[in-house]
């Protein structure tokens, strides 16, 4: 029988009885933010939750991993100006994560992992994870599937470089997860016209520019959404689920060198 890994489906006394010496609690983090005219606001939450579900299905019962309800709001202010985007400030999101971490530490858990579905959270989560480690003693991990899942199908150099929001990959994923929420008639192709500066200054680079979506895309899209298919989305979920499962297995018993 497979375990119920949803921590919030347990009672408090069941949680009290869990073996917390080994094991990790996982918080999926999504967003409610614009993803162009064809994808729902909930895109990042759907993706993080589904990828994690795929990973959990692959874990053997002797791996202690429990999942919290997904946090649907995060730091989405790069999409400010697009109606429906709901953004927490950096300060608010950090405070929420600290409070969740403190509650878990108080319950006796030793490890916390974020599974992040929203690119705008990357820097904040890494910083907050370290703060949580220092403040609570929890061993804290940031798992960012968009940064480590290699698409198991060919992808153009242009899409790889410029397709980071609502493009081929995210469109494929939502087509696989919730096709009823996608309107492919409204899918567009947009590659941001970033100036050639002769330096590696870019959206994501060691020398970067602080970008807002509306500065570079009228529709809110970065990438070619017309290339999205459910088959590609299924392949991404399978690849991402396997990678995540491998990581969860390792971090569930991970110890620091000096305790």
Q: Which pair of tokens denotes residue 99?
A: 């409070």
**What is the maximum alpha-carbon separation in the chain?**
61
Do 105 and 204 touch, CB atoms closer than 8 A? Answer: no
Residue whose Cβ sits closest to Zn ion: 44
Say how far apart CA 77 and CA 93 lie, in whole Å. 12
Instruction: Please say which residue, 117 or 241, places its beta carbon nearer to Zn ion.
Output: 117
DSSP helix/strand/coil, 225? helix
Instruction: Please say which residue, 119 or 241, places its beta carbon nearer to Zn ion.
Output: 119
Residues 6+ apart with CB under 8 A from 140: 101, 111, 112, 113, 114, 129, 130, 132, 133
Instruction: Please say which residue, 140 or 173, places its beta carbon nearer to Zn ion.
Output: 173
Distances (CA, A) of 163 to 51, 223, 259: 20, 4, 41
Q: Which stretch binds Zn ion (CB under 5 A): 84-92, 151-159, 163-171, 192-200?
A: 163-171
Q: Which stretch binds Zn ion (CB under 5 A): 35-43, 76-84, 85-93, 244-252?
A: 35-43
Tell the smallest beta-carbon distance from residue 120 to Zn ion (Å).
Answer: 9
Q: Which stretch binds Zn ion (CB under 5 A): 90-98, 126-134, 147-155, 164-172?
A: 164-172
When binding is defined by CB under 5 A, the residue of 5, 32, 44, 73 that contacts Zn ion is: 44
Instruction: Please say which residue, 43 or 128, places its beta carbon nearer to Zn ion.
Output: 43
168 binds Zn ion (CB under 5 A): no
Q: Which stretch binds Zn ion (CB under 5 A): 43-51, 54-62, 172-180, 207-215?
A: 43-51
Tell the smallest beta-carbon distance from residue 48 to Zn ion (Å).
Answer: 10
Instruction: Please say which residue, 165 or 249, places its beta carbon nearer to Zn ion.
Output: 165
Helices (H), 59-167: 90-107, 122-136, 145-148, 157-162
**What are the DSSP E strand ranges found in 150-195?**
189-190
**DSSP state letters, 67-80:** EPPPB--B--GGGT
Size of interface with Zn ion, in residues (CB under 5 A): 3
Site of interaction with Zn ion (CB under 5 A): 43-44, 170
């Amino acid at each position: 029988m497979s375990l119920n890994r949803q921590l919030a489906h347990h009672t408090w006394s069941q949680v009290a009885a869990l073996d917390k010496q080994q094991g990790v609690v996982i918080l999926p983090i999504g967003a409610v933010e614009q993803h162009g005219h064809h994808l729902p606001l909930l895109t990042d939450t759907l993706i993080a939750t589904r990828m994690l579900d795929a990973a959990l299905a692959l874990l053997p019962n002797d791996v202690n991993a429990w999942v919290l309800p997904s946090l649907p709001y995060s730091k989405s202010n790069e999409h400010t100006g697009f109606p429906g985007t709901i953004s927490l400030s950096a300060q608010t999101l950090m405070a929420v994560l600290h409070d969740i971490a403190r509650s878990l530490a108080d319950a006796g858990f030793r490890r916390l992992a974020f599974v992040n579905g929203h690119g705008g959270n990357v820097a904040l989560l890494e910083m907050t994870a370290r703060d949580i480690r220092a403040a609570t003693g929890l061993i804290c991990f940031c798992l960012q599937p968009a940064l480590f899942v290699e698409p198991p199908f060919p992808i153009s150099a242009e899409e790889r470089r410029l397709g980071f929001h609502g493009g081929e990959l995210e469109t494929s994923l939502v087509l696989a997860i919730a096709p009823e929420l996608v309107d492919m008639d409204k899918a567009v192709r947009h590659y941001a016209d970033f100036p050639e500066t002769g330096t590696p200054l870019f959206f994501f680079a060691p020398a970067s520019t602080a970008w807002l979506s509306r500065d570079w895309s009228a529709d809110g899209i970065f990438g070619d959404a017309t290339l999205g298919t459910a088959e590609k989305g299924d392949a991404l979920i399978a690849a991402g689920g396997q990678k995540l499962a491998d990581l969860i297995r390792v971090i569930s018993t991970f110890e620091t060198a000096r305790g």
